[in-house]
Amino acid sequence: MKSGHLTDDLIVAYVTGAAREGVALAAAAHLTYCTDCRRKVDAHEAIAGAILSETASVDGPGFDQLLDRLDEVEEVETMPKAGPLPAPVAAAVGIDFDDIPWRFRLRGVYVYEMLNKDGEDVSLMKVRPGAAIPSHTHEAEELTVVFEGQLEDDGTIYKAGDISVADADVDHTPRAGGTTPCICLAVLSGGVKFTGPFGRALNLFS
């Protein structure tokens, strides 16, 4: 379990555009809070810019690819009412926070699925204080960014802006701490395998 900040691998993937859609969104969300990670991103972007200027002419393919990337950025004319969500996530959700149609997932756990394709699942989660996600492991990687409340996981307390990174070696039981619901973004790459007596039963429905 890696806690609090983006890993170096995630920063490089984000800067180079190699990160998948959900991972890039999680990184962008965390960067709205974390000045330390923003400084690292700025440093990597400066290096990437220097390399680009040395290797790509204005008429070359590198410049054309850069223009293509810029064309993909759409300006949001009217931002929805974000509530506790940072701007990148609010824009991706596209509706007011108070209008999000949460769906019951488990006792005390509600989910709004934003994206599910090509093995990547991106969801907002609202977890009532004291409620927990049953013990589970992952086929690949899980990123969780907290926006409101607290998330307690593997002995660490995550607060607004913190990101946790769990890989296939982690078997954990995250739960909402504090006295207010935990609102967070969860990005799963690959499937989830529940563990423990109750969790194994959930595998039949996941």
Q: What is the mean pLDDT of residues 107-127?
A: 94
Identify the weakest region by mean pLDDT among 53-62, 77-86, 123-132. 53-62
Give yes or no for residue 206 having a pLDDT over 70: no
Residue 47 has pLDDT above 60, yes or no: yes
Is the pLDDT at 97 greater than 60, yes or no? yes
In the chain, where the domains are located: 1-206
For residue 62, pLDDT over 50 is answered with yes
CATH code of the domain made up of 1-206: 2.60.120.10
pLDDT of residue 179: 94
d(CA 170, CA 134): 13
Task: Give the predicted TM-score (pTM) of the model.
Answer: 0.78
In the predicted model, what is the mean pLDDT of the chain? 83
CA distances (Å), origin 88, targets 9, 21, 27, 61, 108: 21, 12, 10, 29, 26
* Residue 106 CA: distances (Å) to CA of 1, 15, 125, 165, 202: 24, 36, 11, 22, 10
Sign of CA dihedral 140, 198, 157, 186: positive
Mean pLDDT in residue range 4-29: 93
Distance CA 47, CA 8 (A): 14
pLDDT at 183: 98
Tokens of 94: 């596209």
